[in-house]
Amino acid sequence: MDFWPTDDQTALQEGVRTFCQGRFPFETLHDIEATGGRIDRSAWKDIAEMGVFSLRHDGFGISDAALVFEELGRALVPGPLVATYLAATHLSDTAAASGASIIGLAEVAEPVTVIEHADDLDVLLLLDGNGVRRMAPDALPTDAVERPVEPLTPLRLAHAVTAGGDTVLSGADARAFRLEGTLLTAAMQVGVSFAAIDLAVEYAKGREQFGRPIGQFQAVKHMCADMLTRAEVARSAMYAAAANLEGKGEDDAEHSVRVAKMLAGDAAIFCGKTGIQLHGGMGFTWEVNAQRFWKRATVLDTHFGNSDIHADAIAAAM
Amino acid sequence: MDLRYTDSELAFREELRAWLREVLPSVPPEPHRNDWEGRRAWDTGWQRMLFDAGYAGINWPKEYGGRGATPTEHLIFLEETERMRAPYVGMNFVGLLHAGPTLVAEATDEQKAYHLPGILKGEHVWCQGFSEPGAGSDLASLRCRAFRDGDDYVISGSKIWTSFGHTADYCEMLVRTDPDAPKHKGITWLILPMNAAGIDIRPLRTMEGSTEFCEVYFDEVRVPVKNRVGDENDGWRVTMVTLAFERGTAFVSEMLQSMELVRDLTDLAKKITRHGSTAWEDAGLRRELAHLSGELDALWALTKRNISEAQRKGLVGAGGNVFKVAYTDVRQKLGDISMRLLDRASLSLDDMAGLPTGKHVKGRIHALSIGIAAGTSQVQKNIVSERVLGLPKDR
């Protein structure tokens, strides 16, 4: 057993982190919001050239992908990253792998089915209990959602989602697609959690009140420690799920992926919320990124089933 | 990141299982918790069996009589002995997990040659003289004094929370040897024989009803200078060596028990009815148990990360502190669920009306101690925020 990232994995993760900091610095998020969350195709190409979508074709494993998506989540990189990766990986879509195509994924769900980044998609995948259907992004009737909670993730409300498109995956293949998507979403949630922690800790060190940095107060310290605790526990579950899913573990992959998504979802929302609280009034402003982590956490929680859905499934197997 | 065990780790597990299957039937039943003589014989008897079979001091270096196993094999040992319900480390806890590793790291050859085999063979039981009535979370403010008098130190003062103080042979003892130095710089680590004259031991009854804790009073107790470990006034550094061992694997058995507790509570919820339906039909309860079960899976993964980190780097990082904070919370929530399930049956420390209440009630009470012992959750959070996240100290 050696449940610690290898030197190669650490180098991969650091490479992606450096890329994200250079190509998607937090300062540019405001500009992307101003475009209505539109995807910059040249930036998308750059992500593809980093190898993000073609990881598996290039000989990397699921654990490697999990580490990469943790970094993408940490940097709040916008766009249907997981969907495009899944299309490249599970549908052998070479245009997805090269960054030429942007692939969206919508889960047929109650009470609503929503499509993210609909205006930028080349292909839409619909995921339901029967499998994955592929269709043109304008094949479904949709209504615009004028004010999405997270402006970096624009939405359209979809109708008549039960028909249309060609079934491209079903049965075990669809299950593998869903599991990997769930895992990588959990990875992004872990990344969001750590980004929220980084910002909160930096603020707590610099912000002075009562003549001292607020990070000197135990009430503030314990908020930070609670964030780190939730995030590290979730990260452990996520790494274990990655190992199990790629056959390097001893536990049931589906169970451990559900645990990872449940805990990572809760951790991201908790860290997002606590980060806002720790910033005080500034945390409630648009300007400070604390709110952006919480908003992304809120969006990601709805992908591939929220925490409650996974908790119910875990309980059903108990 | 690979969770699979290697062939040699699997072989170790098989060999250990075979041995446990062979010897466990010959282990006598566990004595009553306040039968101190019986418990000592039982705990040290098991330790002797481990020693004779080559399983004592599983992670201690071979040159000091240990097995020299890897951190992963140590984890396997803890896992298998718990799963097969072998006796817990019990009274040997301080010797094997605190004092012993400190002696390995810091003691003289003469001290090692005498004490380490005594611990490994179950011949010597150790206790810990660290905390004092006025020095708990702020351990470095301890005031128990030791004056140098010729070849002896003369100790006066008191210690508290000294588990097994009344049955122990030796005490790992922290004393104040320089009251004028800054608090961390005037402490010395001593090996104290518990049969020395002037020691008064008073059992302290815990809320569990056990008398395992003791208060210990010292009235001019003489300890030879040769019993000092490390230099005079260097005891704080020596102590930190000890505490670093504490959180890596100390809770493995506990955590595995908690996983079993989740299964027990699930079975119980499926049996207990309220308002005509089983408790398990309550979606809120199911979801809560699923969460806690998932958190335990995650903590097991975190333990393996910590072990793997130790294997790579030789020490456990922040993961140990994070683990303890998170585990405490999970264990206490499980205790609360058990009480809600049992409702008025939760009011007895013994089984009631055919329900396994005793185990759950005692477990719930025990859970309250986890957030206090070995550094309270609040102290753990201070450590995490200062040493891991780099927040400024407030002193």
Q: How many other CB atoms are found less than 10 A from the CB of residue B17? A: 14
In chain B, whose CA is at the least distance from the CA of A239?
B1
User: In terms of domains, do B300 and B182 share one?
Assistant: no
Confidence of residue B250 (pLDDT cuts 50, 70, 90): confident
**Which DSSP string do the residues of B302-319 spell out, in sequence order?**
HHHHHHHHHHHHSS--TH
Per-residue pLDDT tens for A252-308?
Answer: 999 999 999 999 999 999 999 999 999 999 999 999 999 999 999 999 999 999 999
* Distance (Å, whole) CA A265 – CA A244: 19
Asked whether the predicted pLDDT for residue B4 surpasses 70, the reply is yes
Comparison of pLDDT for B126 and B71, the residue scoring more: B126
| Mean per-residue pLDDT, B33-52 | 94
Q: Under a CB-based contact definition with an 8 Å cutoff, are residues A91 and A168 in contact?
A: yes
CATH number of the A172-316 domain: 1.20.140.10
Q: b/e string for A158-177 if b means 16 or more Cβ within 10 A?
A: beebeeebeebbeeeebebb
Told to judge if B246 belongs to the known catalytic residues of this protein, a careful annotator would answer yes
Confidence at residue B318, expressed as pLDDT on a 0 to 100 scale = 75
Beta carbons of B298 and A234 less than 8 Å apart: yes
Domain of B167: which CATH number?
A: 2.40.110.10
User: What residues of chain A score a pLDDT lower than 70?
Assistant: none
B394 band by pLDDT with thresholds 50, 70 and 90: confident
SS3 B146: strand
B375 shares its domain with B259: yes
pLDDT for B132 equals 96
Q: Are the CB atoms for B289 and A315 separated by under 8 Å? A: yes
Task: Answer whether A243 sits within 8 Å of B388, measured CB to CB.
Answer: no
Nearest CA in chain B to A211: B394
Domain boundary among B176, B199, B233: B233
Q: What pLDDT does B242 receive?
A: 63
Number of domains in chain B: 3
Contacts of B308 in chain A (CB under 8 A): 1-4
Q: Is residue B276 part of a domain?
A: yes
- Is A228 an interface residue toward B (CB < 8 Å)? yes
Strands B126-129, A166-170: pairing kind: unpaired
Residue the block writes with tokens 């005793």: B358
Q: Is the pLDDT of residue B196 over 60?
A: yes
Q: How confident is the model at residue B395 (pLDDT cuts 50, 70, 90)?
A: low
Question: Using 50, 70 and 90 to split pLDDT, how confident is the model at B247?
Answer: low
Which residue among B246, B260, B288, B295 is the active-site one? B246
Interface predicted TM-score of the whole assembly (ipTM), two decimals:
0.96
Q: Which residue has the tokens 């940097």?
A: A75
Whose structure tokens read 């122990």? Answer: B168
Residue B246 in any domain: the answer is no
**Residues forming a β-bridge with B191:** B172
Helices (H), B141-282: 235-249, 252-271
Listed residues B124, B142, B167: the one ending a domain: B124
CATH code at position B101: 1.10.540.10
Q: Which of residues 25-84 of A touch B (CB under 8 A)?
A: 63
Same domain, B372 and B262: yes
DSSP codes, A94-150: HHHHHTSS-EEEEE--SS-EEEETGGG-SEEEEEETTEEEEE-TTSS-EEE-SS-SS
In this predicted model, what pLDDT tens digit does every residue of B235-245 receive, in sequence order? 999 988 766 55
Residues 6+ apart with CB under 8 A from B267: none
Q: How confident is the model at residue B317, as a pLDDT?
A: 72
Q: What does the pLDDT average to over B158-182?
A: 96
Predicted local distance difference test score (pLDDT) of residue B251: 85
Residue A65 phi/psi, 5° resolution? -60, -40
* Inside any domain, residue B244: no
User: How high is the pLDDT of residue B243?
Assistant: 62
Taking CA–CA distances from A228, the nearest residue in chain B reads B322
Provide the domain limits for residue B357.
251-388
**Would you say B256 and B75 are in contact if contact means Cβ atoms under 8 Å apart?**
no
Domain boundary residue among B124, B151, B183?
A: B124
Least confident of A60-64, B137-141, B309-313: B309-313
Q: Does residue B318 form part of some domain?
A: yes
Residue B366: which CATH number? 1.20.140.10
Q: How do beta strands A123-128 and B277-278 pair?
A: unpaired
Phi, psi for residue B219 in degrees, rounded to 5:
-120, 95
Indicate the residue of A1, A217, A239 with minimum beta-carbon distance to B5. Answer: A1
Nearest to A239 among B301, B307, B386 (CB): B301
Buried (b) or exposed (e) across A261-279, using 16+ Cβ within 10 A? bbbbbbbbbbbbbbbbebb
Q: Is the peptide bond before A111 cis (omega within 30 degrees of 0)?
A: yes
Q: Is the same domain home to B28 and B111?
A: yes
Pair type for strands A212-213 and A208-209:
antiparallel
Q: Is residue B113 part of a domain?
A: yes
Residue at B193 is within a domain:
yes
